[in-house]
Structure 1
Amino acid sequence: MDSVSDALASIPQSVQLAFAGLGALLVASKILSFLNLFLNVFVLSGTNLRKYGKKGTWAVVTGASDGLGKEFATQLAAKGFNLVLVSRTLSKLEALSQELEKKFAGLETKVLDMDFSADDDADYARLAKLITGLDIGILINNVGQSHSIAVPFLLTEQKELENIVTINCIGTLKVTQAVAPGMQARKRGLILTMGSFGGWMPTPYLATYSGSKAFLQHWSSALAAELKPSNVDVQLCLSYLVTTAMSKVRRASVMIPGPKPFVRAALGKVGLGGWQSMAYTYTPFWSHALMAWAVENTIGVGHRLGIWVNLKMEMDIRDRALKKAARNAKKE
């Protein structure tokens, strides 16, 4: 102990003061960051959606027939936006269209059934024709696909691999290319793309999905800088698990909200991501935001410890899913 004390005493006072100052600055920066997080998550309201158009302005929602997409459509309709609903199953789209038009007086809807995995140019041509002349203020890039089960990359079926990349990446890019020029011309609009903690922190056993969401992260932030001079806001909305068919989680909890509270937060906190390490990104749901802040301010995004935790978690999920499938096969 004496040797340590002697060693410390031998350090020039100016150096000691410099290190103490750096430590104080580090602590102060973390405190300010947490205060920023607290204000953004619990106090402040995000951008008023009326910035993107008056009542009757149109919103395009992809993956609209189920889960988060359906909830985005419902809440946007409640806020007075007309809707272009895009998804794979026409019957579901028509049922949602009728439900919303009955519920919200004066609401107009248009539907377009397209299979994003087909990457058919004719589908995108139909979309372009459908939205011609519409004053579109909001685009919700929600369509997406994950793996049917947590799986090592080398065991991933080629069709699943291709579908994930085609739907999540190519589909999102092509829809945005169809919608964004009108926003740029009108000098207003919001392009909100659904991200994922799976793309924010690399996730083994969901490698292709994780990579596709990481792609959207960087694409979205780059596009945001391009369109900012045109007064078009581009935001990537980060989420942990939500109780949807994609997540395969049925019971809501503090960490896993249902679609309604998550979408309420997503639409209410647009633009409030100043505490995050990636620009033009926000994590709207409070428990997800606290988790993201903790990771960013301790181990850091992309650290091998975080990747290892994800690996162990997904391996456990895969083992339980395979055991359940085996039990069901025996019953048959």
Structure 2
Amino acid sequence: MASLNLNINYILQRINHQRLFQNLQAMLKSATFLNITGAATVSYFVWKTFQFTNLYFLKPSKLYKYRAVKSPKGEAPWALITGSSDGIGKALAIELASKGFNIVVHGRTPSKIAKLAADLEAQYKIKTKTIALDATDPILSLDEPVLNAIGDTKITILINCVGGISIAAKRIYDPMVERTESEIDRVFSINGRFMTQLIRVILPRMTEPGIIINVGSTSAYGLPWVQLYSAAKGYLNSLSIALNAEMYATGRDIEVMAVTPGSVAGTPGFKYAVGAFLPDTKTIARSILDRIGSGQTVVSPYWVQGIQDVLFSFPGPQMYKTMVANVMRGMKEIEDKDIAAQK
């Protein structure tokens, strides 16, 4: 009987040792998994931090690549900037003129673009041409007026900067059901149709190397009350990606990229934007040119707004809806009060 008890005790001890061993194995496996997961997470964030730092602070702009281009007439390269009579477009025209580019100035008002062209010629000793066209016109034909304006000039840099809501609709922030048929056509025209038709006309007349920069917006994420603008900017991003791939596929040395700035101080389209980190048009213009050659087809040009883009990508759908609804509701309320005060 004593022998039987000893055997049972021995067996129980073995069972307990085996369970302890299994528990230790499970703990080690769990620890190993956590270590690997932790190391992978840290490595990911280190890599993303390096990418961010490289993009905004280390990687130099390749604008010089296009400054070296000579037109068939031996002139300095030409840049065509749409919407260059105001805002970001005007700042881009000034920046490129200061770097020796001849400028084709585009805008709606002949007197404004004529004055800017004269100022650029006087200050920077460059050549200019002007195109006066209303980008909100949904049936406007671009072929004849654009070709008459540029003649046989070869374009090296095409920047599609014209866009917005304020000149195409009665209100910036409005529910979809309040938008009129005319507003829908005009908003899509200024933010999508015009630049698409212009690319079609200009692309065969571009030098190689050349670059097309489409100025979009972080609104492409999808924002309430500016739904048409958001949709058009999403289209712009997709078109830029497709055209960039098409240029590669067809063997043309033309880069196509989209830049997606957020709110910018001093521009009509962001009249009701608020925040401590609103860059001015000059800062955004320089940031856009600094991102040339970044290797990114769609990129936020300004580093502070690049951080905001990263934050936008983290929330799930429900949190995103809540976040943007609160922000946009506040901006809409400011516009509502402004309109009420004007009555």
Residue deviations 1:2-34 (CA, integer Å, cap 9, x gap): xxxxx9968475565345424422331121111
Residue deviations 1:145-172 (CA, integer Å, cap 9, x gap): 2253311111123222211101111101
CA contact (8 A) 1:270 1:282 kept: no
- 1:293 equivalenced with 2:310 (yes/no): yes
Shift of 1:64: 1.1
**Aligned equivalent of 1:143:** 162
CA contact (8 A) 2:138 2:185 kept: no
Matches of 2:280 and 2:183, distance apart in 1: 26
Q: The residue matched to 2:153 in structure 1 has which SS?
A: coil
Larger Rg: 2
**Aligned equivalent of 1:182:** 205
User: Relative contact order, CA 8 A, sep 6+: which one is greater?
Assistant: 1
C-alpha spacing 1:8/1:313, structure 2 compared with 1 (3 Å) = farther
- State, as a whole percentage, how many aligned pairs show the same letter: 25
Residue type of the partner of 2:302?
F
**Aligned equivalent of 1:264:** 286
Residue type of the partner of 2:187?
I
**Aligned equivalent of 1:227:** 247
Residue type of the partner of 1:308?
T
**Aligned equivalent of 2:149:** 130
Q: The residue matched to 1:188 in structure 2 has which SS?
A: strand
Alignment gaps of 5+ in structure 1: 1-6
Comparing 160-169 and 205-214, the one that deviates more: 160-169
C-alpha spacing 1:17/1:100, structure 2 compared with 1 (3 Å) = same
Residue type of the partner of 2:211?
L
**Aligned equivalent of 1:245:** 268
Residue type of the partner of 1:175?
L
- How many residues end up aligned between the 2 structures? 310
- 1:167 equivalenced with 2:182 (yes/no): no
Matches of 1:74 and 1:174, distance apart in 2: 25
TM-score (normalizing by structure 1): 0.85
Shift of 1:323: 2.5
**Aligned equivalent of 2:45:** 30
**Aligned equivalent of 1:114:** 133
Comparing 167-176 and 117-126, the one that deviates more: 117-126
Alignment gaps of 5+ in structure 2: 1-21
Q: The residue matched to 2:156 in structure 1 has which SS?
A: strand
C-alpha spacing 1:26/1:95, structure 2 compared with 1 (3 Å) = same
- 1:309 equivalenced with 2:326 (yes/no): no
Matches of 2:277 and 2:53, distance apart in 1: 17
Residue deviations 1:226-256 (CA, integer Å, cap 9, x gap): 11331211111110101112211598x7521
Shift of 1:264: 1.1
**Aligned equivalent of 1:196:** 217
Residue type of the partner of 1:94?
A
**Aligned equivalent of 1:4:** none
Residue type of the partner of 2:161?
N
Q: The residue matched to 2:163 in structure 1 has which SS?
A: coil
Q: The residue matched to 1:118 in structure 2 has which SS?
A: coil
